[in-house]
């Protein structure tokens, strides 16, 4: 293993040689949080939907780009990624479901409920992807 600064890299890895998948997913998550706060601030009256819809679209595009970068990443530790992402998805789908329930229970309906639901889906996928990419990037792609 090679030490670069304070990072220990796997053989063949270079500092900065990783695609910015976690960073893109983090920006995607930030956009979802901003949209969620914007919408929650307007409830119980129907919020304006132009900004939240735009944020959902950009967030989905960023998450899609992050996943595309992962698929194209040669030598990525898919075994570690899939193990971590599965368990994180379980936790975040439950969390998103509870948040969704609170909006339904508080009589959110129609367009605002659809937009909040899309934001929650992005939230439930963004965080596990961030966690799993962070774990997998420091794992060897070859079992020891």
Reported confidence tier of residue 16, pLDDT bands at 50, 70, 90? low
Task: Please give the model's pTM, rounded to 2 decimal places.
Answer: 0.80
Alpha helices in 1-144 (DSSP H): 21-42, 50-72, 78-105, 110-136
Beta strands in 45-137 (DSSP E): none
How far apart are the C-alpha atoms of 71 and 86, rounded to whole Å?
17
- Helix-then-strand count for the chain, H and E: 4, 2
Residues in a beta bridge with 4: 7
**pLDDT given for residue 45 in this prediction:** 79
Q: What is the share, in percent, of the chain residues with pLDDT greater than 70?
A: 85
Question: Could you tell me which of 117, 112, 114 has the C-alpha nearest to residue 100?
Answer: 117
3-state secondary structure (DSSP) of residue 3: strand
b/e per residue 109-141 (b: at least 16 CB within 10 A): eeebeebbbbbbbbbbbbbbbbbbbebbbebeb
Could you state, in order of their start, the residue ranges of all structural domains in the chain? 19-136
**pLDDT given for residue 57 in this prediction:** 97
pLDDT by residue (tens digit) across 84-113? Answer: 999 999 999 999 999 889 888 877 778 888
**pLDDT given for residue 8 in this prediction:** 53
């Amino acid at each position: 293993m090679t030490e670069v600064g304070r990072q220990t890299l796997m053989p063949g890895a270079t500092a900065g040689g990783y695609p910015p998948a976690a960073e893109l997913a983090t920006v995607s998550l930030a956009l979802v949080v901003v949209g969620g706060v914007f919408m929650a601030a307007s409830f119980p009256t129907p919020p304006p939907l132009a900004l939240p819809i735009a944020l959902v679209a950009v967030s989905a595009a960023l998450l899609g780009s992050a996943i595309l970068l992962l698929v194209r990443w040669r030598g990525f530790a898919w075994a570690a990624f899939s193990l971590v992402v599965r368990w994180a998805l379980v936790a975040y789908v439950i969390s998103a479901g509870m948040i969704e329930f609170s909006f339904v229970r508080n009589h959110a309906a129609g367009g605002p409920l659809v937009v909040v639901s899309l934001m929650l889906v992005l939230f439930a996928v963004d965080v596990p992807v961030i966690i799993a990419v962070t774990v997998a990037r420091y794992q060897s792609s070859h079992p020891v």
